[in-house]
């Protein structure tokens, strides 16, 4: 009998619990019809204080906050969205049924799409001055509604970056890193870019490598090349570019950057060769001459291929002009210290490279006829040709 009395008492308590919940929701429904959202939320707050394990009360709280947000400006909606997201999460945790679950997912998706798309439109618009403020307001709302949606984080970070707010751009991506279910290569790619923009070259290298460790990504690989170059690691850049060229043999930009970096490494080898001649280190001279021949052929081949793919690209023309001009300068300097048997071949090579440098600087003059520096360079090299190699 005591057990029966306890069971009946429990049943009465449960009945009172559900009746109380039902009465609360009837009151809330009436307030919602009147659009008295503030009063409805107060009712729900009181009810949740007494019945925090009720999934339906959490659902209603989230739903009303979404409706309430429609009366506010974008910058004021974030609180409503964060609360709605939290409330729906609680409803799910407490066992909301499949119908309610589908409804909550649909509501979050609909409001997220509105905010995200409005943010993208503002970000891409040039019609008004405060577009970045508007864009970031909408995109912050989108992140609040769906904190595991990467596209909103990326767009929000872009908005901050466009507005010169680098710290906020980085913080947004770090928030994404914490909230996403799994590490994402795009997040680290973007963080690598921002680190490079701020001159943090070693950190940029680390982040780009982290991106590539998660997923092979051409953009991240290019970013890593730039980070290595900025960090003074031309050797590392050359190795990576060699790998990229195997994967993307028809990419003209890779040809160009690879050639430029090979030229930087080549310049260092030529300086070392000069020192080896001065120190009369014949073994080192032989080794370096062999390395230089391969490096030179590679740089020339890559730069020429890029140029032939786009003969009107001034960057490609200029890189070839600089390449041959530097070779001319290095070989002329080397004549003073080179072994006797190397002088004549080196002099012939210097004349050949000088002619090619003049050719490409003349091509640059055609492309940039009003550039006084290019005109002066053509004249200077021409005079040098007359002085040194006219017999």
Could you read off the pLDDT of 181-199 as tens digits, one per residue? Answer: 899 999 999 999 999 999 9
Distance CA 216, CA 110 (A): 33
- 339 falls within a domain: no
Q: Report the domain count for the chain.
A: 1
Distance CA 272, CA 289 (A): 10
CATH of the domain at 122: 1.25.40.10
Which pLDDT value is given to residue 99? 95
- 58 falls within a domain: yes
The answer, yes or no, to whether residue 364 has pLDDT greater than 60, is yes
- 269 falls within a domain: no
Which pLDDT value is given to residue 203? 97
Average pLDDT estimate for 360-382: 94
| Number of separate helices (H) and strands (E) present in the chain | 17, 0
Range of the domain at 48: 20-161
Task: Collect all residues with Cβ–Cβ distance below 8 Å to 207 and sequence separation of at least 6.
Answer: 188, 189, 191, 192, 195
- 146 falls within a domain: yes
The answer, yes or no, to whether residue 16 has pLDDT greater than 60, is no
Q: What is the mean pLDDT of the chain?
A: 90
The answer, yes or no, to whether residue 221 has pLDDT greater than 70, is yes
Q: 238-241: which pairs have CB atoms within 8 A and are 24 or more residues apart?
A: 238/262, 238/265
Average pLDDT estimate for 23-27: 83
- How many C-beta atoms lie closer than 10 Å to residue 176's C-beta? 24
What is the percentage of the chain residues whose pLDDT exceeds 90?
82
Which pLDDT value is given to residue 72? 93
- 372 falls within a domain: no
Residue identified by tokens 């503030």 is 38
Tell me if 353 sits within 8 A of 388, measured CB to CB: no
The answer, yes or no, to whether residue 28 has pLDDT greater than 90, is no
The answer, yes or no, to whether residue 210 has pLDDT greater than 90, is yes
Distance CA 138, CA 184 (A): 23
Distance CA 51, CA 44 (A): 10
Annotate 284-338 with DSSP letters as a single string. Answer: HHHHHHHHHHHHHHHHHHHHHHHHHH-TT-HHHHHHHHHHHHHHHHHHHHHTTTS
- 141 falls within a domain: yes
Tokens describing residue 292:
């230089």
The answer, yes or no, to whether residue 2 has pLDDT greater than 90, is no
Q: Mapped to the 3 state alphabet, what secondary structure does 235-253 carry? A: HHHHHHHHHHHHHCCCCHH
Tell me if 248 sits within 8 A of 239, measured CB to CB: no
């Amino acid at each position: 009998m005591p057990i029966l009395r306890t069971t009946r008492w429990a049943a009465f308590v449960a009945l009172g619990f559900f009746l109380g919940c039902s009465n609360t929701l009837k009151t809330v429904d009436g307030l919602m019809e009147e659009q008295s959202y503030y009063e409805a939320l107060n009712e729900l707050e009181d009810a949740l204080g007494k019945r925090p394990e009720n999934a339906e009360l959490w659902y209603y709280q989230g739903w009303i906050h979404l409706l309430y947000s429609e009366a506010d400006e974008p910058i004021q909606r974030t609180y409503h969205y964060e609360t709605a997201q939290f409330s729906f999460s609680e409803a799910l945790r407490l066992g909301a049924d499949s119908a309610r679950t589908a409804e909550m997912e649909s509501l979050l998706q609909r409001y997220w799409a509105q905010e995200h798309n409005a943010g993208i439109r503002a970000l891409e618009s040039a019609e008004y001055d405060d577009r970045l403020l508007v864009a970031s307001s909408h995109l912050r709302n989108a992140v609040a509604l769906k904190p595991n949606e990467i596209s909103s984080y990326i767009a929000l970070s872009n908005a901050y970056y466009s507005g010169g707010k680098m710290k906020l751009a980085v913080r947004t991506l770090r928030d994404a890193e914490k909230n996403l279910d799994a590490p994402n290569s795009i997040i680290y790619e973007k963080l690598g870019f921002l680190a490079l923009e701020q001159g943090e070259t070693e950190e940029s290298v680390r982040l780009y490598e982290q991106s590539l460790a998660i997923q092979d990504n051409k953009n991240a690989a290019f970013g890593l090349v730039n980070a290595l170059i900025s960090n003074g690691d031309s050797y590392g850049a050359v190795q990576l570019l060699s790998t990229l060229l195997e994967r993307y043999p028809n990419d003209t930009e890779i040809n160009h950057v690879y050639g430029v970096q090979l030229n930087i490494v080549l310049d260092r080898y030529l300086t070392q060769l000069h020192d080896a001649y001065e120190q009369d280190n014949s073994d080192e001279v032989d080794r370096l001459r062999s390395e230089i021949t391969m490096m030179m052929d590679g740089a020339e081949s890559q730069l020429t291929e890029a140029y032939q793919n786009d003969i009107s690209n001034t960057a490609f023309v200029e890189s070839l002009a600089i390449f041959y001009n530097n070779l001319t300068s290095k070989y002329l300097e080397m004549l003073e210290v080179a072994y006797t048997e190397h002088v004549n071949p080196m002099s012939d090579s210097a004349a050949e490279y000088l002619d090619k440098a003049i050719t490409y600087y003349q091509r640059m003059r055609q492309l940039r006829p009003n550039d006084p520096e290019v005109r002066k360079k053509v004249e200077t090299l021409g005079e040098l040709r007359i002085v040194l190699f006219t017999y």
